[in-house]
C-alpha cells in the first residue's frame, strides 16, 4: 500500500476529480477508468492532481500504451470522498473562540 502524499491546499477533490475517483469505488482493486462516461479519455490534469494529492496512485505500467496512466484509488482517496469538508462557519466560530481564550 502506498503512503498518502497529501500535498497542496485542497482537502477535498473538485467535482470533476471526485467523479473520476468515485468510479474506482466499486472496481476490483479500486481501478480508476482511463475513459469517462462519454468514452473520452480522462484529462491528464485531473489524473495528475489526484496523484499529487495522494487520492490515486499509479498501479502498473501499460506496455501497449506507455503514455496511459493506469491508476487505482488510495485509502486517502476513499477518505476524501467520504469525509465532508468542514463548514466555513464552523471554522470561523472555532477561530473566534480560540482568539477569545
Task: Tell me whether residue 44 is in a domain.
Answer: yes
Q: Check: pTM over 0.85? Answer yes or no.
A: no
Of 45, 52, 50, 72, nearest in space to 60 by CA: 72
Q: What pLDDT does 72 receive?
A: 97
Task: Tell me whether residue 5 is in a domain.
Answer: no
List, for residues 43-76, the tens digit of each pLDDT value.
Answer: 999 999 999 999 999 998 888 888 888 999 999 9
Task: Tell me whether residue 4 is in a domain.
Answer: no
Total domain count, the chain: 1
Q: What is the DSSP letter of 86?
A: P
Task: Tell me whether residue 3 is in a domain.
Answer: no
Give the three cell numbers for residue 19. Answer: 467523479
Task: Tell me whether residue 10 is in a domain.
Answer: no
Per the structure, the complete domain to which residue 73 belongs is given by: 15-100
Task: Tell me whether residue 91 is in a domain.
Answer: yes
Helix or strand or coil: residue 65? coil
Q: How far apart are CA 22 and CA 45, in angstroms?
A: 17
Residues pairing with 35 in the sheet: 41
Cell numbers 495522494: residue: 54
Amino acid at each position: 500500500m502506498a503512503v498518502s502524499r497529501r500535498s497542496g491546499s485542497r482537502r477535498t477533490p473538485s467535482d470533476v476529480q471526485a467523479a473520476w475517483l468515485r468510479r474506482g469505488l466499486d472496481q476490483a482493486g479500486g481501478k480508476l477508468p482511463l475513459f469517462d462516461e462519454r468514452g473520452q479519455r480522462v484529462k491528464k490534469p485531473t489524473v495528475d492532481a489526484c496523484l499529487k494529492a495522494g487520492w490515486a496512485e499509479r498501479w502498473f505500467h501499460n506496455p501497449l500504451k506507455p503514455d496511459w496512466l493506469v491508476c487505482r484509488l488510495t485509502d486517502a482517496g476513499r477518505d476524501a470522498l467520504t469525509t465532508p469538508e468542514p463548514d466555513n462557519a464552523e471554522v470561523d466560530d472555532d477561530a473566534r473562540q480560540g482568539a477569545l481564550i
